[in-house]
């Protein structure tokens, strides 16, 4: 809807924590900023590495626990993957994902970039569908260029 300030009417990190009755600690603030800023979809361990630049002895446990809290209250998400690490996504606007079969990166795909099907009118009584996403699979630009060259 609106474009200004901090994007889609998103609250400031500090405000966001307060509104969920989470104590505002410097560690949490930094974790929140990091997960909101990233373009990629890092694991807890990867994010721990990054947050450590600012808090050299923050524990992995704190990062993992915090991310899980965030995911449970809807500040961030888990993202689907094929390997054995759990990945997080700080982009909370509805979007789809592209998985590169070469480099394994996961790239965001805005809904406008796709002919999105209306809503899966499911002819199946085994479950109630709440939401759906499209999972694209292919080769990313970087990998394509790398494979073109000799």
Partner DNA sequence: TGCCAGATAGGAGTAGATCCTATATACTGG
Partner DNA sequence: CCAGTATATAGGATCTACTCCTATCTGGCA
One residue of 84, 125, 147, 149 binding DNA per CB under 7 A: 84
Instruction: Give the alpha-carbon dihedral of 79, 82, 83, 86, to 10 degrees.
Output: 20
102 binds, among its own copies, Zn ion, DNA, none (CB under 5 to 8 A by kind): Zn ion
89 binds, among its own copies, Zn ion, Mn ion, none (CB under 5 to 8 A by kind): Mn ion
Nearer to its own copies, 56 or 117 (CB): 117
Rounded Cα gap, residues 53 and 69, in angstroms? 22
Task: Tell whether residue 136 is a contact of its own copies (CB under 8 A).
Answer: yes
CB of 101 to its own copies, least distance (A): 7
One residue of 40, 46, 68, 108 binding Mn ion per CB under 5 A: 108
Rounded Cα gap, residues 90 and 111, in angstroms? 16
Three-state DSSP at 17 gives: helix
108 binds, among Mn ion, Zn ion, DNA, none (CB under 5 to 8 A by kind): Mn ion
Task: Tell whether residue 58 is a contact of DNA (CB under 7 A).
Answer: yes
Rounded Cα gap, residues 20 and 72, in angstroms? 11
Residue reference for tokens 């965001």: 108
Task: Tell whether residue 35 is a contact of Mn ion (CB under 5 A).
Answer: no
Phi (first) and psi of residue 84, to 5 degrees = -100, 30
Sign of CA dihedral 73, 35, 16, 67: positive
The site for DNA (CB under 7 A) is made up of 17-18, 22-28, 43-45, 55, 57-62, 64-66, 68, 84-86
């Amino acid at each position: 809807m609106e474009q200004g300030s901090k994007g889609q009417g998103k609250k400031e990190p500090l405000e966001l924590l307060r509104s969920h009755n989470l104590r505002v600690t410097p560690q949490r603030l930094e974790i929140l900023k990091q997960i909101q800023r990233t373009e990629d979809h890092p694991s807890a361990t990867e994010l721990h590495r990054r947050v450590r630049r600012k808090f050299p002895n923050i524990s992995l446990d704190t990062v993992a626990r915090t991310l899980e809290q965030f995911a449970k209250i809807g500040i961030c998400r888990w993202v689907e993957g094929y390997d054995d690490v759990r990945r997080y996504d700080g982009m909370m606007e509805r979007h789809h994902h592209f998985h590169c079969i070469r480099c394994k990166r996961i790239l965001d795909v805005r809904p406008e970039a796709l002919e999105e099907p209306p809503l899966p009118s499911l002819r199946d009584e085994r479950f109630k569908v709440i939401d759906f996403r499209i999972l694209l699979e292919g080769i990313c630009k970087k990998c394509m260029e790398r494979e073109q060259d000799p």
